[in-house]
Structure 1
Amino acid sequence: MNKEKLVNQSINYIMEHLNDDLSLDTIVAHLYISKFYFSRIFKEVTGESIYSFVKRCKIDQSAIDIKLNPEKTITDIGLDYGYSSSNYSTVFKKKLKTSPSTFKESLPVQSMSSPFIPEQTVHFKSYEEYNALIEVQEFDDLPVLCERFIGNYIDLEKNWYQFLDKNKNLLSAETILVERFFNDPSISNSSQCISDICMTVPNDYNSDNLELIEGGKWIVYPYTGEIKNIFETLQGIFSIWLPQSGYTMEQRYGLNIYHQIDRDCHHVVMDLCIPIK
């Protein structure tokens, strides 16, 4: 297995176990490789040490938990990620430039600055408006061809077109185009956001880049509009609908499923999907 695939597998494992003990020994035991080799290739592929990556992802995910669980105390959320109360506040403030209590007091919000266009303010709909369009669906497992990108989500449109052009011989009327996203760009550093661009392929297709998108229960919101406005809609679902919905987000990636893409108009028809339990 090549080193990029090993690192990607480790990232998948880390993102699904952020509130578990994620020592180097734990991670390499899951991968069955040497911790010295793994530490070296992880830094080589990501530009970041495994310790720094896990610490950053824990704090980012804890901020999402504060956003989605307003009834939960900051102390309990910190404990979920292995921090004492005072240590959690210190690490959180160092990473996100605000204390967890100040962050919580700023929620919920009806609008925010776009992380992609800071001078642009995005405005959210009401819980009732989101709820009128959201459905809960059961998804089957989906084998896909994937490419991972770590960087600014604003580059996803360009990355998608390059991916589709490179694999155009695999496209058919039955192809499903799926994007996995692991970060909230209003919280995570924009240059460190993780995403996977994926497509279903014929059954006889073999590649080292084939992966399985796990099924389960998802909320599905139909979106039709410009690519630049996807962030506004997703943030509205996260900030307004989900905390009031009674559902709990499962700790893994979200999905964007594309049905139509108009390159010239930068317009899409798609489903925005969040895993729940």
Structure 2
Amino acid sequence: MIIKKSLINKSIEYILQHIDEDISIEDVANHCNFSKYHFSRIFKEETGVSVYSFIKRIKIDQSAVSLKVEKDKTITDIGLNYGYSSSNYSSAFSKQHRISPIEFKKAINSTEIANPFCPSEHNTFKSFEHYDEKIVMRRLDDFKVIYERYIGDYREIGVNWYSFMERYKTYIKSDTLLIEKSYNDPSITQLDKCIYDLCITTYEDVELENIITIKGGKFAVYHFNGYVQDIFVTFQGIFNIWLPRSGYKMDERYGLGIYHDIDRKNNYVVMDLCIAIK
């Protein structure tokens, strides 16, 4: 079971790092040192989908993020970046999201968003000036972390966090950072298909199978001090309002949420929302 989980994590990591390339099932299988047939069987057993379907879904979801934040690029250019011709991209995008890329881009609301965590609430974005005033550029060091990867309902992230922390409580010290690494935008990807890593920083002498290094670098950092249910809207405001007008471009590294304090009783957190910047 551990070997299979490690294999799937290794393959997903490779796919995510090369998603804007023309990667094949053979490429992923070779990276994992498995035959195409054997690897494909294990991947589907563990994830419920074929390697091809998984790659296709990730490509379309990532392209939707590009449509959202890269306002200066045409739909055709974004499709080409992910290996699609203009007609093929529109067809594949529409099949996955039940809306065409043109309609998707038009529908992006720059003032408010539906919150999947609090669907009954009205969620309005702040102004560009609000985000710009609070965001600072920082160069973060690499993080050595103990991690677990989750593919499933993003609404269960709180429950997963507490279970994860309980499993690794002996490794949590006073200076340990809790880090969430997100691979999907939950306003785009179906909530039950979101991929994210839950991590705690650790020391060089810790030896576990599930240790990786999160690459540091330049990040736009928004210091968040508020209720858990407001994290989603704040992050979306940074993407929808601040990023397109900021003059900065997203890097291929993925976003991080770095928690500094968690008040579980009141659902209140102090954390940094970090977007990788070129």
**Which interval holds the TM-score relative to the shorter structure?**
over 0.9
Deviates more, 1:22-31 or 1:58-67: 22-31
In the aligned structure 2, how far is the partner of 1:42 from the partner of 1:275? 29
Asked if structure 1 preserves the Cα contact closer than 8 Å seen for 2:11 and 2:28, the reply is yes
Deviates more, 1:142-151 or 1:197-206: 197-206
Asked if structure 2 preserves the Cα contact closer than 8 Å seen for 1:133 and 1:221, the reply is yes
Instruction: Supply the AA of the counterpart residue of 1:245.
Output: S
Residue equivalent to 1:270: 271
In the aligned structure 1, how far is the partner of 2:110 from the partner of 2:256? 23
In the aligned structure 2, how far is the partner of 1:149 from the partner of 1:107? 27
Instruction: Supply the AA of the counterpart residue of 2:176.
Output: T
Instruction: Supply the AA of the counterpart residue of 2:251.
Output: E
Offset of residue 108 of structure 1: 4.5
| Number of aligned residues | 277
Asked if structure 2 preserves the Cα contact closer than 8 Å seen for 1:68 and 1:242, the reply is yes
In the aligned structure 1, how far is the partner of 2:244 from the partner of 2:16? 21
Residue equivalent to 1:35: 36
Instruction: Supply the AA of the counterpart residue of 1:139.
Output: L
Asked if structure 2 preserves the Cα contact closer than 8 Å seen for 1:108 and 1:240, the reply is no
In the aligned structure 1, how far is the partner of 2:30 from the partner of 2:245? 39
- Note the aligned Cα RMSD (angstroms): 1.3
Residue equivalent to 1:103: 104
Offset of residue 70 of structure 1: 1.2
Asked if structure 1 preserves the Cα contact closer than 8 Å seen for 2:118 and 2:229, the reply is no
Does 2:59 match 1:58? Answer: yes
Deviations 1:93-149 (A, max 9, x none): 111111100111123421011123333231111111001011111111111000111
Residue equivalent to 1:179: 180
**What SS does the aligned partner of 1:13 have?**
helix
Residue equivalent to 1:144: 145
In the aligned structure 1, how far is the partner of 2:247 from the partner of 2:211? 35
Residue equivalent to 2:115: 114
Residue equivalent to 1:205: 206
Identity of counterpart residues, as a percentage? Answer: 49
Which consecutive unaligned segments of at least 5 residues does structure 1 have?
none
Asked if structure 1 preserves the Cα contact closer than 8 Å seen for 2:144 and 2:203, the reply is no
In the aligned structure 1, how far is the partner of 2:123 from the partner of 2:28? 39
Instruction: Supply the AA of the counterpart residue of 2:260.
Output: H
Residue equivalent to 1:251: 252
**What SS does the aligned partner of 2:12 have?**
helix
